[in-house]
Amino acid sequence: MADVFVSYARADEDAAVRVADALRADGYQVWRDDELPAHRAYADVIEERLKSAKAVIVLWSAEAVKSQWVRAEADSARAAGTLVQARLDDSIPPLPFNQIQCADLSGWDGASDAAGWRKLKSSVAALAGAAPAAEAEKPRRRARQLCICVLPFQNMSGDAEQEYFSDGISEDITTDLSKISSLGVVARNTAFTLKGQSIDVADIAKKLGVSHVLEGSVRKAGGRVRINAQLIDGATGEHLWAERYDRDLEDIFAIQDEISKAIVDALKLRLLPEEKKAIEQRGTNSAQAYNLYLLARQYWVTGNHGDPRREERVMRICGRAVEIDPYYAQAWALLAIAQSNLRYGFGQDVDDGFAAAHTALSIDPTIAEAHCAMARRLEEQGREEEALGELEKGLQLNPDSWELNKAIGNFFMFRGRPAEARPHYETAASLMETDYHAWGMVMGCCHALNDQPGMGSAAEMTLQKVEQVLAQDPSNGAAISFGVSALASLGESDRAIEWMERALLIDPDNLNMRYNFACALAKLGDRDGAIRMFESSVSRLKGSLGNVEHDSELDSIRDDPRFQKIVADAKKRLGIKTSRPASTAA
């Protein structure tokens, strides 16, 4: 039987042929459906080959996402633990496959040194073993690609609120190493799913298909920082390198550079001059400003959506960061987003973030997130096509920007275009392991698209992420509200009502939370309760009406005269003649 099974949509046959031929050239036995025997049933042969394959490569594309055959084959491989994924275009693999690592073969021309191809081959080798050709050439070249997973560094500060700093260090080291072309790096989101777990390095290395693992710890107290780091061989468990840094906080950037250089030296990698320069580039030279930015972004990511205190806190912290370093572009961009949300989302009399965004871009034109605030002003002026262009410009700068994917998802969702919004929310969810909000919006997209299986999967993911957040912050009303929506979608009405009653005691003034409760009650069939909850939210709004016009979860009460009056009164009070978009920021 074949070592490797290749699953693909018929429209992608040329790419499937390239993949199969390249693997065969390396000595693997590869099967795809061009080898179906004439005397046997198609389904029987497929099932037999799937079960016998050591590795199943699924080539995702816009056509493959629509294919029931490809989805079924992917699901079978996922259950068997043989799944290897690659994408051929910008399409996002469907749920739940978008939670699994995916090699990028978009535009791949068969080059053996392409990063996406090296990543795919590494995964195939981990599942099917080294190819015979690779074994034969072992004296001349490595049988496997060097690939590393940076585990989240442990916070040893004795203060849970210092978690943001150790997480930030881990993220920055991951980013630095990803700039080295000869080294594969596991995505930050995948690595962070292992946070807080008891880790068997050899097991994790095999599961992720990596050759090495970096782990460490951070202790920050006052103006001092201690970082321990160890580079471990995933196959043998041996420590290739270990070091302890006990320095002033001002040395934090030098420590990160030293860790990256030590890994390069330990793995005997060749660092190109432009890669060395890229690693050494920092958004700021001030450790104090850097520390404040990490703190602000942690509040931004994990804060209570719908509570303006989140935005106010981020504004204060970022404001202090840019006072310390006026050329800190990332801090200016985050300040811009917080200001924009507070002005347009909560109706507060503050700057709308345009000036801060312009400052960020004038310092560093590659700061993608600054385009969120630029786009929001254009939206408010009714210049929607220009606003979308601004968001797309930011997304081109950084396709993996969590803020931009959330923003463009909101842009489409709040205009009744859930099919276009969904992949951006799914991308955002894949980029941030604690993002219940993005999963909740995927759930809303699936509801609007009448995708019941997708909605069920998204509801389960939303609930899982919500429970993680509530374990750290039980008073997060926004998280509770998305949990209630998920429970309603899963038919757990009693539990949904219990959560709702508790949240209204904990965070009664969170209007976004109340809006989500209205949607949940509508899904549960409580028409009167949904109307009352909807009024308690919309009648007190000071910003925009958000997704009211297009939210499919409200469709069951949309024809009610009470609903229509509430919306009409709100529009009159807010001076809205037509529906206006909600925040395009995360």
Question: Which sign does the torsion angle of CA 200, 205, 211, 217 carry?
Answer: negative
Lowest mean pLDDT among 98-112, 202-216, 555-569: 98-112
Residues 6+ apart with CB under 8 A from 214: 148, 149, 150, 151, 173, 229, 230, 231, 232, 263
Which of 97, 117, 136 is at the close of a domain?
136
Alpha helix (H) residue ranges in 81-209: 115-128, 132-136, 163-177, 188-192, 201-208
Is residue 586 over pLDDT 50? no
DSSP 144: S
Task: Provide the pLDDT for residue 481.
Answer: 92
Domain count, the chain: 3
Query: What kind and span of H or E run contains 220?
Result: strand 212-221
Residue 141 resides in a domain: no
Query: What kind and span of H or E run contains 422?
Result: helix 418-431
363 and 468 assigned to the same domain? yes
| Domain CATH number, residue 315 | 1.25.40.10
22 and 157 assigned to the same domain? no
> pLDDT per residue over 356-382, tens digit each?
999 999 999 999 999 999 999 999 888
Task: Provide the pLDDT for residue 99.
Answer: 67
Residue 176 resides in a domain: yes
* % residues pLDDT > 70 (the chain): 93
491 dihedral zone (left: phi>0; alpha: psi -120 to 50; beta): left
Q: Which domain holds residue 193?
A: 147-282
| Peptide bond connecting 561 to the previous residue in cis, omega within 30 degrees of 0 | no
Between 521 and 91, where is the model more confident?
521
Is residue 11 over pLDDT 70? yes
Residue count of the chain: 586
239 and 309 assigned to the same domain? no
442 and 565 assigned to the same domain? yes
Pick from 209, 246, 215, 251: nearest CA to 230: 215
Judge contact between 190 and 212, C-beta under 8 A.
Answer: no
Cα 171 to Cα 163: distance, rounded to the nearest angstrom: 12
262 and 318 assigned to the same domain? no
344 and 400 assigned to the same domain? yes
Residue 579 resides in a domain: no
Alpha helix (H) residue ranges in 10-55: 13-25, 42-52
Residue 167 resides in a domain: yes
Which of 282, 308, 336 is at the close of a domain?
282
Is residue 280 over pLDDT 80? no
> pLDDT per residue over 92-106, tens digit each?
888 778 767 788 898
Is residue 184 over pLDDT 80? yes
Summarize the confidence of residues 155-178 as an average pLDDT: 86
> pLDDT per residue over 474-507, tens digit each?
888 989 999 999 999 999 999 999 999 999 998 8
Task: Provide the pLDDT for residue 219.
Answer: 92
Q: Grade residue 135 by pLDDT with cuts at 50, 70 and 90.
A: very low
Residues 6+ apart with CB under 8 A from 347: 541, 542, 543
Residue 390 resides in a domain: yes
Position 477, amino acid: G
Q: Indicate the SS3 state at residue 341.
A: helix
Judge contact between 55 and 78, C-beta under 8 A.
Answer: no
Residue 12 resides in a domain: yes
> pLDDT per residue over 430-485, tens digit each?
888 888 999 999 999 999 999 988 888 899 999 999 998 898 888 889 899 999 99
Tokens describing residue 254: 């030098």
Q: Which residue has the tokens 């025997």?
A: 37
What are the angstrom distances between the C-alpha of 114 and each of 106, 414, 462? 11, 39, 35
150 strand-pairing partners: 214
Residue 338 resides in a domain: yes
Cα 26 to Cα 53: distance, rounded to the nearest angstrom: 17
**Count of other CB atoms within 10 angstroms of residue 452:** 11
315 and 447 assigned to the same domain? yes
53 and 91 assigned to the same domain? yes
Task: Provide the pLDDT for residue 439.
Answer: 93
335 and 259 assigned to the same domain? no
Cα 318 to Cα 351: distance, rounded to the nearest angstrom: 14
Lowest mean pLDDT among 31-35, 38-42, 44-48: 38-42
Q: Grade residue 583 by pLDDT with cuts at 50, 70 and 90.
A: very low
Residues 6+ apart with CB under 8 A from 260: 173, 176, 177, 279
Task: Provide the pLDDT for residue 136.
Answer: 40
Task: Provide the pLDDT for residue 585.
Answer: 44
226 and 324 assigned to the same domain? no
Task: Provide the pLDDT for residue 137.
Answer: 40
220 and 333 assigned to the same domain? no
Residue 399 resides in a domain: yes
Summarize the confidence of residues 245-272 as an average pLDDT: 88
| Domain CATH number, residue 161 | 3.40.50.10610
Task: Provide the pLDDT for residue 577.
Answer: 65
Which of 136, 171, 188 is at the close of a domain?
136
Summarize the confidence of residues 33-56 as an average pLDDT: 70
Is residue 1 over pLDDT 60? no
| Domain CATH number, residue 93 | 3.40.50.10140
158 and 99 assigned to the same domain? no
Cα 274 to Cα 281: distance, rounded to the nearest angstrom: 11
Mean pLDDT (the chain, rounded): 86
Task: Provide the pLDDT for residue 142.
Answer: 35
Q: Grade residue 390 by pLDDT with cuts at 50, 70 and 90.
A: very high
Task: Provide the pLDDT for residue 251.
Answer: 87
Summarize the confidence of residues 190-210 as an average pLDDT: 83
